[in-house]
Amino acid sequence: MLPYLQYLPAFEAAARLGSVRQAAGELNLSPSAVSLQLKKLGEATGIALFRKSGRNVVLTQAGRDFSQAVAISLGQIDTATRTSRRAAAGEQPVSLSVSVPTALGIAWLTAAIIGFAEGHGISKLSIDEAMTAAEVDWTRNDIAVVYDNPPFTGKHWRLLGEVRLSAVCAPTLLSRLDLRNRERKLSAVTLLHEDDGGEWAKWSVAARIGLEGNTHVRVNSVAQAIASAIQGRGVALVSDVLTRNALNEGRLIQPFPTTINAAREYYIVSPVERVGEPILRALADRLIEHLHPGATRASRERET
């Protein structure tokens, strides 16, 4: 048995609150008792866990790494206890709240989540919308899919899918994309984007195609860019994760082979203390399997 397990609650509280005094108040201990436990934990592990910052304490880098591992472990223990109690009582989870980016939800994610809920007997499903982890309302969502870049403080994350951007348009627009001249310019068409045009500039360099003289239309969401492209209103630079169905159905085409890496990627994010909950783990596995059949095991190996 590890000799320092009894000190972990004091460490988790002090790390989370950044204060020995507040941790003591939460645990109904004296500040000196918490300080002693932290000292013994540091001695037992050989890790310098904190440094002083005025009246508060701040985790060292080693302390932050240890803190995440402790939070995950304590969360898993708590989850296992609650799960075992529910199983013993014959209970099943009946509600689930998920946050997703709008465009990804429209493309396929919402349908996949609904199918998962139906298969697991979840009678109360709520689907919220947010793009980044910071925008997710964690007071009402159990898990989220975000288009963002880690780290996500206090959260556990798994990579759902890398994002490669390619130019797409309606088949009716193909006749206007005349690139046979030596200058190789993509002109006389509207370029659709949700950023400041930086992604199109990167794509232009990679494809060696000039974008002089184009009309630029900036939209609030990539879902609007895709819808406009399908309607023949321009060329959108978007991920095939979002356009897979439209490409398979022939509503969109990819007239150029060039793709570029997006600035962000899709991640499945959940509170670190809930990472061990079976229903959340099962949902993450299902979404990864849906997007990349056979990739669930590889994804687990890349967990953070």
Based on the fold, state whether residues 232 and 292 are members of the same structural domain: no
Based on the fold, state whether residues 66 and 11 are members of the same structural domain: yes
- CATH number where 140 lies: 3.40.190.10
Structure tokens at 156: 């556990």
Cα distances from 60 to residues 48, 64, 190, 215, in angstroms, run: 7, 6, 51, 51
124-156 residues labelled b (16+ CB within 10 A) or e (exposed): ebebebbbbbeebebeebbbbbbbbeeebeebb
Structure tokens at 77: 């223990």
Based on the fold, state whether residues 184 and 252 are members of the same structural domain: yes
151 preceded by a cis bond (ω within 30 of 0): yes
- CATH number where 26 lies: 1.10.10.10
Q: CA 186, CA 253: separation in Å to the nearest integer? A: 16
Based on the fold, state whether residues 210 and 291 are members of the same structural domain: no
Based on the fold, state whether residues 16 and 149 are members of the same structural domain: no
Question: Is residue 179 over pLDDT 80?
Answer: no
In tens, the pLDDT along 254-297 reads 988 899 999 899 999 999 999 888 899 999 999 999 887 765 54
Based on the fold, state whether residues 157 and 272 are members of the same structural domain: yes
The residue type at 68: Q
Please report which confidence band the pLDDT of residue 300 belongs to, taking 50, 70 and 90 as the band edges: very low
For residue 177, give the nearest of 187, 166, 165, 191 by alpha carbon: 187
In tens, the pLDDT along 80-105 reads 676 666 656 555 557 899 999 999 99
Mean of pLDDT over the chain: 86
Based on the fold, state whether residues 76 and 218 are members of the same structural domain: no
Whole-prediction pTM = 0.64
Q: CA 286, CA 232: separation in Å to the nearest integer? A: 34
Based on the fold, state whether residues 172 and 250 are members of the same structural domain: yes
Based on the fold, state whether residues 223 and 191 are members of the same structural domain: yes
- CA 5, 73, 125, 82 dihedral sign is negative
Based on the fold, state whether residues 152 and 12 are members of the same structural domain: no
Q: Which domain holds residue 31?
A: 5-86
Tally of domains within the chain: 3
Based on the fold, state whether residues 139 and 192 are members of the same structural domain: no
Q: Where are the beta strands (DSSP E) in 31-94?
A: 50-53, 56-59
